[in-house]
Structure 1
Amino acid sequence: MTTTDVQDLVEEANATALAQMFAADPVVVDVGRAGDLLPGFADDMVLTSGSPMGWREYTGGQREALIGGALFEGLADDRDSAIAGFDDGSIRVGSCHDHGAVGSLAGIYTASMPVFVVEDRTTGRRGFCNFYEGKEPRRLNYGCYDEDVRERLLHVNNVLAPVVGEAIRRSGGVPLKDLMAKALRMGDELHSRNAAASLLFTREILAALLDMTREGIDGVAETTVHIAENDYFFLRLSMAAAKVTADAASHVSHSTLVTAMAFSCRGFSIRVSGAGDTWFDGPPPVHQGKLFPGYTEDQITWMGGESPITETIGLGGFAQACALPLQGYQGGSADVMLQRNLDMYSITLGENPDYRIPVFDFRGTPTGIDVRKVLETGIMPVMDVGLAGSDGGQIGAGVIRAPRECFEKAMAALSAPEEHEA
């Protein structure tokens, strides 16, 4: 096969993968127990973010989050027995993506935790994401576990999730693509800013919530206030929507389109459509951000994160120009954010027909990260993230850039397709 033939094959594959990504139609249809819904999940498992690793490879906050998950689920009575359980394999560690889920920061899932069920009405694929714990800086997904964290998690399980799930079912599901497109026009980028989307979602289930109130169902008013007061509530829905959207473009032989980006305490990883479910690992991402008062750069640590799934479908850092107020949260300037967003067009395969940027005359967001273009231009994908502290909890926010090594490994693998069947 000539070089031209190979190039034509890749172009055709990328056009197919991108079209499948654009055709995805994510709808949140239910809320349920992770242990009942996630494929391949078992009650003795704790899921976490990033490419799969053995228990002993986890360090720092991500290790602490796994221990906290085991304690919350009752898989161990105390910290020492939790560690012993992980050591001897009676408590197992799993990777969120391997079970159809995406995890924010450490991304902890245990069997009893409620998850949003988002279905792609085009393909029937499902994706899952668990609930936002609340705006307190010390959260399980930020490597913290104590009695306050436990009580908040139980409150999600027993009060918030049942109400939201019932409202979604009574509403017949909530289509997410149009809602997210509208949120972009209202100042969100659907990763670090979800204020408009959270309110729009509340409006979609409001009639059901009112009916439930009239019927005397417990927790409705409290849940409604929780959503209204927590701008990040919708992030978990945008992540699950992004998961099924990106998965729609996966497993297209020869395609160089990126279908997932994630990191762990060890480093950053990507998946590429033409390489199926293979992860390509690299060092930790490069970061630039703004810390909360009282914190310093040396306190920043990595403990996982799969919310960059939003960037793979043209949101987050690829829609920063929609959310210029983020400069007050994560630093930078409006000019820097605009240029950063424009740069992303140089490394993507197309412009999103649904997600558009008003300040760019409603140009579609840059969508479909192309491994080839990343390597040719030297421009690394940018992502909006929260920054975790070495002692647990969130200590700031900012942007990160993926390391080049992941893309080099992916390109090498795609050049030897017989070793990486899609």
Structure 2
Amino acid sequence: MVTHADIDAANARALELLGAADPVVVDVRTAGEVLPGYRPNLILTSGAPMPWSEYVGGQRDALIGAAQFEGLAASREEAIEGFESGDIEVGSCHDHGAVGSLAGVYSASMPVFVVENRATGAHGYCNFYEGKEPRRLNYGCYDEGVHERLLHVNRVLAPVVGEAIRRTGGVALKPLISRALRMGDEVHSRNAAASMLFSRELLPAFLDQVATDRDGVTETATHLAENDYFFLRLSMAAAKATADSIIGLENSTVVSAMAFSCQGFAIRVAGTGTQWFTGPPPVHEGRLFAGHTEDEITWMGGESPITETIGLGGFAQACALSLQEYQGGSPEVMIERNKEMYGITVGENPDYRIPLFAFRGTPTGIDVRKVLATSVLPVMDVGLAGRDGGQIGAGVIRAPRECFESAASGFEAQYGIAL
């Protein structure tokens, strides 16, 4: 019979594994080359797996756009027919070792960062940032401009970055993230310092590459310099490679993933493996860009909360007080929100620290039991999507309680102990 002492011991082990992770970006390859179980006709998207018929709004539009981009369909109508017949398949990013931002769509030719957790050998993958244009495929938009920007990533940016990473022998991400937290990032909604630090790591390799690809290196270096969000995809892949180390950890009630789709929010728990526990859409508050209103906000997916799962993002919000200008709120609210997270986690991260809290480690290892006991819900920093596509603002969300209640029931069914 499993006891709460057994759960405590398992959760301590989960915290140890999360803290010991050593994520290193080692390559850039296409999704079709490296994602486990990938097939040429497969399009991945964010959230717990669903049949095609349940995808609506911007997430549905992103899937359709990805199918067109990949050449699986010549038109929107043909793409829809392909999904309906099963000729084009839909899959969940997490089931293939990947995580996706917002709608999170992947197609076979899209380049992905390959991040290895050298402490365990696990890998995490995330595709490239499209650029700061509000209309992006991961925000449910697909037109000629989106198509050309995606091609530019495939043909110019990804090859140059991939070659630079290989020339360096891999870039350790934990030291960059740790330093970025001390420089004003939380590496979810603010990545300015981390993006700069990553560019600096690649600079010697870029200089070596100039002799053979001056134009490509110039364009890529400019892209990195102009896009503060570039590093988000690396922090997501690093978080995935870290969090996957606790999947299947017997007796543990620590959350191993958080994600949402157009239909609702979902979590995974270490001790129950890859099973998803679902609930309604998250509760949100935020700041909208000029010209937009609350009634435009729509949910089209998101797996960037994998960063919060390992003690970053909203769980390091006090590192990035400048976010108040971007996503609303106040320094006082952000600080208190961050402190709340210590009450629902197993412990503190040994390497990710918050200067404002006298370098206390970030709260790490969300415990289902503590969420239910305190009624404090995990907080996440996110971008806000509009019903007509594109980003219309930014803010914070909280995971719905229903996911944790469902997880407690699932844990009890498996282990015979009430949480």
Same fold (TM over 0.5): yes
Choose from 359, 362, 386 the match for 2:356: 359
Matched, 1:301 2:319: no
> Which residue of the partner structure matches residue 204 of structure 1?
201
Q: Deviations over 1:244-298 (max 9, x none)?
A: 1111122111100000000000000000000000000000000000000000000
> Which residue of the partner structure matches residue 344 of structure 2?
347
> Which residue of the partner structure matches residue 271 of structure 1?
268
Choose from 10, 15, 18 the match for 1:13: 10
Would the aligned equivalents of 2:35 and 2:98 in 1 still touch at CA under 8 Å?
Answer: yes
> Which residue of the partner structure matches residue 90 of structure 2?
93
Superposition pairs for residues 370-381 of structure 1, below 5 Å? 370-381=367-378
> Which residue of the partner structure matches residue 78 of structure 1?
75
Matched, 1:406 2:403: yes
- 1: distance between equivalents of 2:416 and 2:27? 39
Matching residue's letter, 1:258? V
> Which residue of the partner structure matches residue 46 of structure 1?
43
> Which residue of the partner structure matches residue 190 of structure 1?
187
Choose from 157, 161, 166 the match for 1:164: 161
- 1: distance between equivalents of 2:14 and 2:329? 34
- 2: distance between equivalents of 1:351 and 1:398? 24
- 2: distance between equivalents of 1:331 and 1:13? 38
- 2: distance between equivalents of 1:401 and 1:200? 30
Choose from 200, 210, 222 the match for 2:219: 222
- 2: distance between equivalents of 1:233 and 1:125? 23
Superposition pairs for residues 378-393 of structure 1, below 5 Å? 378-393=375-390
Would the aligned equivalents of 1:254 and 1:417 in 2 still touch at CA under 8 Å?
Answer: no
Query: Any idea what SS the aligned residue of 2:231 has?
Result: helix
Superposition pairs for residues 86-165 of structure 1, below 5 Å? 86-165=83-162
- 2: distance between equivalents of 1:419 and 1:108? 38
Q: Deviations over 1:160-213 (max 9, x none)?
A: 000000000000100000110000000000000000000000010100001111
- 2: distance between equivalents of 1:99 and 1:419? 30
Would the aligned equivalents of 2:46 and 2:101 in 1 still touch at CA under 8 Å?
Answer: yes
Would the aligned equivalents of 1:17 and 1:250 in 2 still touch at CA under 8 Å?
Answer: no
- 1: distance between equivalents of 2:157 and 2:134? 19
Query: Any idea what SS the aligned residue of 1:12 has?
Result: helix
Matched, 1:238 2:235: yes
- 1: distance between equivalents of 2:353 and 2:17? 18
Matching residue's letter, 2:260? F
> Which residue of the partner structure matches residue 170 of structure 2?
173
Would the aligned equivalents of 1:105 and 1:307 in 2 still touch at CA under 8 Å?
Answer: yes
Matching residue's letter, 1:325? S
| Structure 1 residue ranges without an equivalent (≥5) | none
Q: Deviations over 1:221-257 (max 9, x none)?
A: 1100100100000000000000011111221111000
- 1: distance between equivalents of 2:269 and 2:15? 12
> Which residue of the partner structure matches residue 325 of structure 2?
328
**1:218: Cα distance to partner?**
4.0
Would the aligned equivalents of 1:318 and 1:341 in 2 still touch at CA under 8 Å?
Answer: yes
Matched, 1:319 2:320: no
Give TM-score, length-normalised by structure 1. Answer: 0.98
- 2: distance between equivalents of 1:416 and 1:91? 36
Choose from 365, 368, 371 the match for 2:365: 368
Would the aligned equivalents of 1:269 and 1:281 in 2 still touch at CA under 8 Å?
Answer: yes
Query: Any idea what SS the aligned residue of 1:151 has?
Result: helix
Superposition pairs for residues 57-76 of structure 1, below 5 Å? 57-76=54-73
- 2: distance between equivalents of 1:307 and 1:20? 20
Could you list the runs of 4 or more consecutive aligned residues of structure 1 that deviate by over 2 angstroms after TM superposition? 214-218
Matching residue's letter, 1:137? P
Query: Any idea what SS the aligned residue of 2:243 has?
Result: helix
**1:217: Cα distance to partner?**
4.7
Choose from 263, 283, 288 the match for 1:286: 283
**1:215: Cα distance to partner?**
3.6
- 1: distance between equivalents of 2:83 and 2:193? 41
Would the aligned equivalents of 2:251 and 2:415 in 1 still touch at CA under 8 Å?
Answer: no
- 2: distance between equivalents of 1:39 and 1:395? 34
Would the aligned equivalents of 1:255 and 1:272 in 2 still touch at CA under 8 Å?
Answer: yes
- Identity score, percent: 71
Q: Deviations over 1:351-372 (max 9, x none)?
A: 1100000000000000000000
